[in-house]
Chains A and B, each alone.
Chain A
Amino acid sequence: MLRVAVLRISMAVPILFGVSVIVFLLMNVLPGSAEASLVSDDMSAAERQAIRDELGLNDPLPLRYLHWLGDALQGNLGYSAQRRRDVSDLLMQAWGNTAVLALVSAVFGISLGLWLGYVAGTRRGTLIDRLTGVLSLSGLSIPSFFLAIILLAVFAGWLRLLPSGGANLDSGLLMALRSLVLPVLSGSLITMAITARVTRASIVDVAGADFVETLRAKGLSEWEVRRHILRNAISPVLTTSGVQIGALLGGSVLVETIFRWPGMGLLVFTAISARDLLVVQGATLVIAVTFVLLNLVVDLLQAWIDPRVRGAVS
């Protein structure tokens, strides 16, 4: 297990390096590069040159990358002239808000999906199974923004039970929960649906395996047999959960925009509209790194749970 961990972690390092190179190149090779936000049309050529020099934009590309990487590693991702704040400050705040929303959504969506999938998979063909099928199919086909708008109209507009937007995370648990309900519901429906489907399929698959007969022949009770089945079935669920959490941590632009949730999605959306490229670059980097690290955690969990995964690596 330790060997697997070391191997997996050492594999993550070059991936992170690659991510940083790509993010850097995208922002520096694409038209409309970084100084565009500082330079205005009425500046003279000499003034522009001075700015470029000052920003180090005339250095060769590899050197500029190293500078950028060094700064980034120290938490310095530049200054957003539009927002008049350090990019890292903006990111930290947005990431925190998104993380709260993402984690609550993930816990809610994944546990509900897991439960539904488990119930459906172990009672295959029953009414509950079919209802779950309908529910998860709707979850996959109803767009989150549509659900968000409906929820807004009903709970905030019509019933006036819940706030229509904003993250109220600092004024007590109750307020925080109230502001979370609608974004979590709209953002986690798809997570719930995917988790339910994967869990059900995996459980049905494992329940048909030969070793389940051996377990029954040993005299185990139905609950004990199901514990074995669940343990075997959890691997694909873990993989999709990782992807789901990753997507949630990236911040849903639609959900965050509709509920005015000041997270990564909203930040990136406004930064792109405002051509605030340093923010876009920083956000891309943060989202990518989050994803890589999350994958690492999922891989390690997987190896810990399933000896066959461990064997395949070592």
Chain B
Amino acid sequence: MSLTIETRAAGTTTPAIAPALRVRDLVTEFRGRYGAVRAVDGVSFTVPRGSVLAVIGESGSGKSAMLRSIIGINPPTTLVTGEISVGGRDLQTMSPRDRRTARGSDVSMVFQDPLTALDPVYTVEKQLVEAIRKHHEGLDKAQARQRALELLELVRIPSAAARLKAYPSELSGGMRQRVVIAMAIAGRPTVLLADEPTTALDVTVQARMMRLFRQIQRDIDMGLVIVTHDLGVAAELADEVAVMYAGRFVEHGTATQVLTRPSHPYTEGLIEANVRAGQDRRPNAIPGAPPSLDQLPPGCAFAPRCRYAVSACWDVRPITQLVGDGHSSSCLLAS
């Protein structure tokens, strides 16, 4: 099959060394009638081109909020600060219009539930063509259709030509997720964000989908940030793993470092829970529940649930420290 999505020519508009995604001190606050909730609280990381970052963490830790802030689709009342650079272009300082057109071409997103992610009243082709023409203004309809077909082949949808004419409701969940992915890469994004892209699919489809992500990500040489509850996926797919808790990265390093030599007690707990949980991949077996974001304790947010906690943990907010080469942890006791 011909590779129709060529890699971005290095050095044309941006220096080749610019990482796919660079995030510095990202803060996301949802402002509501009853005050503000800080869902993301000072997160920094870098995703090189062709590399995969997996983000793990319990429900409510701010993973989705982080991805939404990066692509910029939070509700208008949301306050997002910090630096978000994609391929060296700072999204935060762009005009609203440029920020919008950056969606789909600089940064794309795949959502959790493929069953509801597509517009039910348009055919797959219409939706793909819409995305393609948004980001390739020179293409006429016929060329865009041809490209839609190639995209479906790229995400390995069998009998792609027939699928183009289908409505989303006529496709299985796995097929729909492939369409969603095809749409997300239609504008040749520099970085792709995937928010639990397989959680809604059944287990056999999950593995295939993960392989697809790997292949596509190599093909296009894009950065990939994938949120997952499945540590197996993280181990298999990711170059780096970040562990999120109460809006912060509490541990971050290579997949091997984080998953085999965890430094933070929370990571340790997630790994144990994942082993125990077996098929049911939701890591929910750490005693206690994540803290409510509007009343975080003054010290370490994990202290109330931590089996190693000493009294200092309750009072001092731990800073992030290096515990190995490129391996960082926010635990007072880490060394």
Write the chain B residue with the least CB distance to A220.
B134
Binary contact track A124-143/B, C-beta < 8 Å → 1, others 0:
00000000000000000000
Write the chain A residue with the least CB distance to B68.
A213
**Does any Cβ of A come within 8 Å of B232's Cβ?**
no
Q: A232-B120, A307-B121 are in contact. Are A219 and B169 (CB under 8 A)?
A: no
Are the CB atoms of B187 and A211 closer together than 8 Å? Answer: no
A213 to B195, CA, bound (A): 12
**Does any Cβ of A come within 8 Å of B71's Cβ?**
yes
**Does any Cβ of B come within 8 Å of A209's Cβ?**
yes
**Does any Cβ of A come within 8 Å of B90's Cβ?**
no
Are the CB atoms of B120 and A211 closer together than 8 Å? Answer: yes
Instruction: Please indicate which of the listed interface residues B71, B120, B167, B187 has the most CB atoms of chain A within 10 Å of its own CB.
Output: B120
Are the CB atoms of B121 and A214 closer together than 8 Å? Answer: no
* B102 partner, pick from A209, A219, A311, beta carbons under 8 A: A219
**Does any Cβ of A come within 8 Å of B51's Cβ?**
no
Are the CB atoms of A217 and B109 closer together than 8 Å? Answer: yes
Chain A residue numbers with a CB within 8 Å of B270 are none
- Which A204-222 residues have a C-beta within 8 angstroms of B? 209-211, 213-221
**Does any Cβ of A come within 8 Å of B145's Cβ?**
no
From B80-88, B110-118, B321-329, the one touching the partner chain is B110-118
**Does any Cβ of A come within 8 Å of B315's Cβ?**
no
Are the CB atoms of B103 and A219 closer together than 8 Å? Answer: yes
- Which A191-240 residues have a C-beta within 8 angstroms of B? 209-211, 213-221, 224, 228, 231-232
A228 to B117, CA, bound (A): 13
Are the CB atoms of A217 and B120 closer together than 8 Å? Answer: no
* B100 partner, pick from A209, A214, A221, beta carbons under 8 A: A221
- A: number of interface residues (CB 8 Å): 21
**Does any Cβ of B come within 8 Å of A305's Cβ?**
yes
**Does any Cβ of A come within 8 Å of B119's Cβ?**
yes
Chain A residue numbers with a CB within 8 Å of B104 are 217-219
B180 to chain A, nearest CB (A): 7
Chain A residue numbers with a CB within 8 Å of B167 are 307-308, 311
- Which B177-210 residues have a C-beta within 8 angstroms of A? 180, 183-184, 186-187
Q: Please classify the interface of chain A as helix (H, G, I), strand (E, B), loop, or mixed, using the class held by over half of its residues.
A: helix
Write the chain B residue with the least CB distance to A235.
B121
Are the CB atoms of A220 and B130 closer together than 8 Å? Answer: yes
- Which B115-151 residues have a C-beta within 8 angstroms of A? 116-123, 130-131, 134-135
Are the CB atoms of B73 and A211 closer together than 8 Å? Answer: no
Chain B residue numbers with a CB within 8 Å of A59 are none
Are the CB atoms of B116 and A209 closer together than 8 Å? Answer: yes
Chain A residue numbers with a CB within 8 Å of B135 are 219
Write the chain B residue with the least CB distance to A210.
B116
Are the CB atoms of A210 and B117 closer together than 8 Å? Answer: yes
A311 to B120, CA, bound (A): 12
A306 to B169, CA, bound (A): 11
Chain A residue numbers with a CB within 8 Å of B71 are 217
A113 to chain B, nearest CB (A): 22
- Which B135-177 residues have a C-beta within 8 angstroms of A? 135, 167, 169-170
A211 to B131, CA, bound (A): 14
Are the CB atoms of B105 and A306 closer together than 8 Å? Answer: no
* B118 partner, pick from A214, A220, A305, A306, beta carbons under 8 A: A214
- A-B contacts, 20 of them at CB < 8 A, read A211-B116, A213-B117, A214-B117, A214-B118, A215-B119, A216-B73, A216-B103, A217-B71, A217-B73, A217-B103, A217-B104, A217-B184, A218-B131, A218-B186, A219-B187, A228-B122, A307-B120, A308-B121, A308-B167, A311-B167
